[in-house]
């Protein structure tokens, strides 16, 4: 079920009503059933996978806590991690690894061939797998006590607002919230609705509109060149931002209405003044996940310099692979890894309290945007060959420029509003989304956004990009 | 909830309803005058009293030069083809044309994917502004399984994405003299070839129903209906079950059916095509002249 579907318009108020009308002790059940229903609306069969991952991590965590020796704890942790990752690898990476191996075998004229399996990637599998991994690791580290109530734990894994595309929540933050009694308060509803409205604006007015242009270019790269590629790549930066940040905003808003507090996933990433600043603002829940459960366990920065650079690079490489089973994502991750290593070698970041001139800031923001946007070429291209074709022809102006005034017209309206909104928040730190203030200004702003969504939003744009991950 | 909050909520709702209500009034008036974009095409198709009406999808729009038909057959011709839409919109346009001014001849361009194009359902939402005014549009919009009457609650939603066309209408003057025909310039570049398959596609029963409805409308109103598969660059299997099915339906109803898919004058000649499925202006003119001769006979 998509947030931007008619189904959800009926689903959410019913869930909300049932949730707040139910006695406190049964509320978890209302949410659990709703979450499983939400997930099953994609594919009933894949509910067994989420259930499997839930049972494995739940059982392992209890065994970890019960175990008295470090060795036994480690065995249970390894079992849980391997079992959860095995499901993820099988569904997400089997065909990718198979076809890559077949290419290698083919180059040696080997007759051996890894079979191609007809597998449909379960929606949100990377997100809930990471959420369960963080839980078992936290239990192993002693950062959190195990959740004995299987229903509540299952709800932690499947909580519908963030189930399919995050934010990837930590057990330490989310689990205690399921034990808390929530009330339908005016503040929560106002704050939640603001996030939801802004999320829909980003998704329907910006992302889905820009995708009309970006898709028609990137799905037919051999028919285009030059300025068309520059335009499509520029617009894709905002399409992916609108799509993913839009989803996160709606998730945060929906959860907030019910009284739950999900972590902020995006903080105006294209205002970043360095690559590391960008990764502190983009998909924060994933970046911090990788930092806590991959980068730091590998030694982080508390190792020799060359090992530190390697840790940084590997973290981004694996993060690229997390996004998708395709070499394009691996290269995208590697590129970002190279950026971050180079930035650290030359110490190009702006320090926390360091003041920089307006001109310096603009130049930095521009350079970071260009670098990030260049990497997006690999993220968006259908395969590596096409990505390289785009790069090779980005300054080839021999072909006619493909333009669609209608898309540009609506795109400019949406992007201007987003730019002004983010610019104000960036410079005043007063986010209209973060507070529950209701005044004439916010009433006007959100009424205007709703009208704009209805009037120029794209309503058949389909699903969110990050669902495929 | 205190008094100030209630005041703000009421203001919020009133604002949305007021904007929505007045937009409805404004755009329902401005909408009928739109001469550009998708709505411009439909508006003109609905208001032109054609004696020869050409129906179909983008292949109709780009393949049939209305002026060649009008000049040679001495009858007012309008090309009401519409890119991305198929038999459903063709039916609604024909039905409304008959109500106002029945055409004498209808040429229905049947694209190779006319019976299996699943995307055509989601595209029906584009027609929402016509829902209340034209019963036949209402009928076809409801074919979209995702359609919900909830979509009719907001005027802003009904007139979604019309702002650009209205703005153009306000700023630009119409120069059109092609009567719906949109010639394509340029030539097919073989390097851009991306072959696709038309075989073994499932036939959508709704499409068959609406093809029969078009045939029945023509029969009942004594309109000469001609089915045409216009030229394609692609090697096109004559045994394709969709074309055979179409041929059978037209023959069964004693209607003419011409298959130009592998027309020797144009077949696989780059200079007459813009892409694999669409003729360029030169190709369209040759095809239109030859079809006129055939119809005359």
3-state secondary structure A267-324: CCHHHCCCHHHHHCCCCHHHHHHHHHHHHCCCCCCCCCHHHHHHHHHHHHHHHHHHHC
Over pLDDT 70: what percentage of chain B?
90
Q: Do B125 and A460 touch (CB under 8 A)?
A: yes
What is the full DSSP assignment across B79-108?
E---TT--HHHHHHHHHHHHHH---SEEEE
Mean pLDDT of A183-194: 90
Chain A CB within 8 Å of residue B11 CB: yes
pLDDT at B29: 84
Question: What is the separation, in whole angstroms, between the first and last Cα of chain A?
Answer: 16
pLDDT classification of B207: cutoffs 50, 70, 90: confident
A20-26 long-range contacts, Cβ below 8 Å, gap at least 24? A20/A183, A20/A184, A24/A181
CB contact under 8 A, B192 and A410: no
**Cβ contact (<8 Å) for A460 and B164?**
no
B257: enclosing H helix or E strand: strand B256-259
Q: What is the pLDDT of residues A121-157, one digit of tens each?
A: 788 899 999 999 999 999 999 999 999 999 999 999 9
Mean pLDDT across chain B, nearest whole number?
85
Look up the pTM and report it: 0.87
Instruction: Find the CB nearest B163 among A438, A440, A456.
Output: A456
Beta carbons of B154 and A454 less than 8 Å apart: yes
CB contact under 8 A, A454 and B1: no
Across the A:B interface, residue pairs with CB atoms under 8 Å apart total 69
Nearest to A454 among B8, B37, B156 (CB): B156
Which of these, A349, A333, A352, lies nearest to A294 by C-alpha position?
A333
pLDDT digits (tens, 9 = 90+) for B269-293: 888 988 888 899 999 999 999 999 9
Q: For Cα atoms B217, B220, B224, give the angle at the middle one, nearest 5 degrees.
A: 75
Average pLDDT over residues A309-325: 94
* pLDDT tens, residue by residue, B160-171: 888 888 888 888
Q: Does B40 touch chain A (CB under 8 A)?
A: no
Q: Please, which pLDDT band fits residue B32 given cuts at 50, 70 and 90?
A: confident
Q: What is the ipTM metric for this complex?
A: 0.79
Nearest Cα to Cα of residue A3 among A467, A468, A469: A467
| Residue of A197, A412, A454 best to disrupt the B interface, most CBs of B under 10 A | A454
> With an 8 Å Cβ cutoff, is A122 touching chain B?
no
Helix (H, G, I), strand (E, B) or coil at B53: strand
pLDDT above 70 for B141: yes
Run of H or E including B109: strand B105-109
Share of chain A above pLDDT 70, in %: 98
Is B19 near chain A, with CB under 8 Å?
A: yes
Helices (H), A324-349: 327-345
User: Which residues of A are catalytically annotated?
Assistant: 323
Residue A184, chain B, CB below 8 Å: the answer is no
Specify the pLDDT at position B235.
66
Average pLDDT of chain A to the nearest whole number: 91
On chain A, the residues whose CB falls within 8 A of the CB of B148 are 6
Model confidence at A317: pLDDT above 60 = yes
What is the reported pLDDT for B165? 85
Q: What is the pLDDT of residue B3?
A: 66
Chain B residues with CB-CB distance to A410 below 8 A: 161, 163-164
């Amino acid at each position: 079920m998509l947030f931007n579907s008619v189904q959800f318009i009926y689903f959410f108020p019913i869930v909300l009503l049932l949730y707040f009308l139910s006695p406190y002790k049964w509320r978890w059940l209302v949410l659990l059933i709703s979450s499983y229903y939400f997930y099953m609306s994609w594919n009933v069969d894949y509910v067994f996978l989420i259930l499997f991952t839930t049972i494995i991590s739940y059982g392992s965590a209890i065994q970890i806590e019960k175990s008295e020796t470090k060795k036994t704890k480690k065995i249970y942790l390894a079992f849980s991690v391997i079992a959860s990752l095995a499901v993820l690898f099988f569904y997400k990476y089997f065909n990718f690894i198979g076809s890559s191996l077949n290419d290698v075998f083919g180059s040696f004229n080997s007759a051996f061939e890894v079979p191609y399996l007809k597998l449909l990637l379960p929606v949100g599998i990377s997100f809930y797998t990471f959420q369960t991994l963080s839980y078992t690791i936290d239990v192993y580290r002693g950062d959190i006590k195990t959740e004995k109530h299987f229903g509540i734990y299952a709800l932690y894994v499947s909580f519908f607002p963030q189930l399919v595309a995050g934010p990837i929540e930590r057990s330490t933050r989310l689990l205690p919230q399921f034990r808390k009694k929530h009330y339908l308060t005016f503040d929560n509803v106002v704050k939640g609705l603001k996030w939801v409205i802004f999320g829909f604006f980003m998704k329907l007015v910006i992302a889905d509109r820009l995708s009309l242009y970006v898709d028609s270019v990137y799905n037919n790269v051999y028919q285009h060149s030059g300025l068309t590629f520059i335009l499509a790549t520029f617009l894709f930066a905002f399409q992916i931002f609108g799509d993913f940040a839009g989803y996160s905003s709606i998730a945060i808003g929906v959860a907030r209405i019910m009284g739950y507090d999900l972590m902020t996933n995006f903080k105006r990433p294209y205002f970043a003044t360095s690559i590391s600043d960008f990764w502190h603002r983009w998909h924060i829940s994933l970046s911090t996940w990788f930092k806590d459960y991959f980068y730091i366990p590998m030694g982080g920065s508390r190792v020799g310099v060359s090992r530190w650079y390697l840790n940084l690079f590997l973290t981004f490489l694996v993060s690229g692979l997390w996004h998708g089973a395709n070499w394009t994502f691996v290269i995208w991750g590697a590129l970002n890894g190279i950026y971050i290593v180079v930035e650290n070698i030359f110490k190009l970041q702006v320090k926390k309290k360091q003041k920089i001139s307006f001109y310096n800031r603009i130049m930095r923001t521009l350079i970071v945007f260009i670098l990030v946007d260049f990497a997006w070429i690999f993220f968006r291209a259908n395969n590596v060959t096409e990505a390289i074709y785009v790069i090779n022809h980005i300054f080839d102006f021999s072909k006619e420029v493909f333009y669609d005034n209608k898309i540009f017209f609506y795109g400019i309206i949406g992007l201007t509003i987003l730019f002004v909104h983010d610019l104000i928040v960036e410079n005043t730190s007063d986010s209209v989304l973060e507070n529950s203030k209701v005044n004439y200004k916010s009433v006007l702003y959100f009424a205007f956004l709703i009208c704009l969504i209805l009037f120029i939003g794209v309503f058949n744009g389909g699903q969110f990009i990050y669902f495929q991950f | 909830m205190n008094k100030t909050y209630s005041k703000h909520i009421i203001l919020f709702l009133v604002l949305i309803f007021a904007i929505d209500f007045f937009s409805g009034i404004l755009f329902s008036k401005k909408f009928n005058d739109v001469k550009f974009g998708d709505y411009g095409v439909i508006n003109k198709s609905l208001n032109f009293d054609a004696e020869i009406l050409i129906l179909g999808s983008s292949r109709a729009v780009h393949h049939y030069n209305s002026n060649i038909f009008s000049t040679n057959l001495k009858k007012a011709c309008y090309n009401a083809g519409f890119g991305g839409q198929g038999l459903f919109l063709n039916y609604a346009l024909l039905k409304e044309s008959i109500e106002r001014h029945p055409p004498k001849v209808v040429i229905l361009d049947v694209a190779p994917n006319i019976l299996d194009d699943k995307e055509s359902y989601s595209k029906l939402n584009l027609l929402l502004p016509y829902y209340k005014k034209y019963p036949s549009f209402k009928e076809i919009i409801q074919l979209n399984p995702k359609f919900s009457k909830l979509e009719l609650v907001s005027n802003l939603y009904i007139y979604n994405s019309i702002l650009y066309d209205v703005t153009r209408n306000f700023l630009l003057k119409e120069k059109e003299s092609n009567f719906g025909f949109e010639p394509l310039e340029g030539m097919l570049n073989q390097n851009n070839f991306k072959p696709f398959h038309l075989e073994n596609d499932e036939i959508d029963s709704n499409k068959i129903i609406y093809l029969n409805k078009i045939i029945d409308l023509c029969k009942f109103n004594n309109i000469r209906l001609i089915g045409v598969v216009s030229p394609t660059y692609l090697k096109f299997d004559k045994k394709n079950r969709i074309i055979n099915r179409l041929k059978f339906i037209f023959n069964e109803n004693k209607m003419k059916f011409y298959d130009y898919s592998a027309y020797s004058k144009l077949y696989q000649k780059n200079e007459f095509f813009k892409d694999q499925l669409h003729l360029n202006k030169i190709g369209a003119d040759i095809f239109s002249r030859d079809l006129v001769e055939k119809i005359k006979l």
